Amino acid sequence: MWKWPPNATYKASPATMRKIIKVLPWLVFTVGLAMVLTVSGDSTFYVLGFCLLVIGVSFAVILQGLRRIPAEPPQVALVTFLGGRIRRVKREGWRFFFAHPYVFGYIPIGITSIPQDFTPSEVRTPDNAELKVPISITWHPNGDDPGALIAFINSGGETGVRVILQNIVSERIRQWHRSPKEGPQTWEEAIGATDKTVEAILETILAKDVTQEEMKECRRGNGRFELPSLGIVISLLNIEQVEVVGTVKEAAEKAAKEVQEKKAESIETQTFLSLVKENEKAGFSKNEARDNIQVERGKVPKTINEHRISLDPAAAEAVKALAGSPALAAIVGKLLAKKGDKQT
């Protein structure tokens, strides 16, 4: 419904005011000269004055209605007439709005892609496991459709659309994971069913089926799913790593640790057997090979006993004398070693 005066308020920017101040004296001079020439009575001056008057007024109207729609960040302008929104959109650049803002005006709307990360929803699967599902979505207002822009404004703009999407997605996530028919039945299935979860969310938001090719494009960020009720286009919807919480998380971590330990033990056993075979090929017995490997790994300590025997000078000379008889020297050495062991 049109209203007068329009609700849109206009406040000239400092840059616009500077331009007006520069042009205003020339405009006043042109209009004044035109009026003087018009009332002079001479037909030639009358025509010249009338032309100058038309030019001056036209220039004033154009200057008053010329507006620049920013390209950085990108915006579009939803046109208004007598304060009411009409189904007409003007793109970025210099645009003319007659008698702005009283006759024609505009509502600037940013069309930059908006990334929205939802607070991880805490849900339960039918096996009563608690999960956190982090979801991210990227969307932007549909700047190609005037009706979509009107719906976007009616939905509360960016703030309103964010809240609506949060409510829709959170509720759908809870229903999907709790359902005994359509969703995952265990937390293990939930972790591996992110593609199906994304598909379920998209179909709920769009109220229509989604093909596998569209799903792939959406997860890559190249989707184009128009949502007329909110006036937006969804380009990306993705689910990050699903996290298990509570007692199930502790049990899962414990089970995973046990599995890893068993794998490590199996690898260690295979390596040990392989090293034993290599030692056997080198001429060691199986027990010797096993002991060598255990000592090398530090699992069995290797003990070296050092014995020191003190001899008087006479005994030392006797030992030197025995050096000429290897057999006798060996017998004496064994006896001394046994004596040293007893003393130790």
Predicted TM-score (pTM) above 0.85: no
Strands 225-227 and 232-239: antiparallel
Spatial CA neighbour of 84 closest among 13, 145, 153? 153
Higher pLDDT, 124 or 221: 221
Least confident of 4-18, 85-99, 156-170, 258-272: 4-18
Higher pLDDT, 19 or 100: 100
Q: How many residues does the chain have?
A: 344
Please determine, for residue 73, whether its predicted confidence score (pLDDT) is greater than 80. Answer: yes
Mean pLDDT across 108-117: 89
What does the domain layout of the chain look like in residue ranges?
A: 14-110, 114-245, 252-297
What is the three-state SS of 81-144?
Answer: ECCEEEEEEECCEEEECCCCCCCEEEEEEECCCEEEECCCEEEECCCCCEEEECEEEEEEECCC
Percent of the chain with pLDDT over 70: 52
Instruction: Give the per-residue pLDDT at 331.
Output: 62
Instruction: Give the per-residue pLDDT at 160.
Output: 92
Please determine, for residue 338, whether its predicted confidence score (pLDDT) is greater than 60. Answer: no
* Alpha carbons 164 and 208: distance in angstroms, whole number: 18
Mean pLDDT across 208-228: 82
Confidence of residue 131 (pLDDT cuts 50, 70, 90): confident
DSSP letter, residue 238: E
Q: Helices in 155-207 by DSSP H: which ranges? A: 157-178, 187-192, 194-206
Chosen CATH of 114-245 out of 3.30.479.30, 2.40.10.10, 1.20.120.10, 2.60.120.10: 3.30.479.30
Instruction: Give the per-residue pLDDT at 251.
Output: 52
Lookup: tokens for 137:
């979505």
For residue 4, give the 3-state DSSP assignment: coil
Lookup: tokens for 225:
């799913």
**Residue type at 30 in one-letter notation:** T
Instruction: Give the per-residue pLDDT at 215.
Output: 81
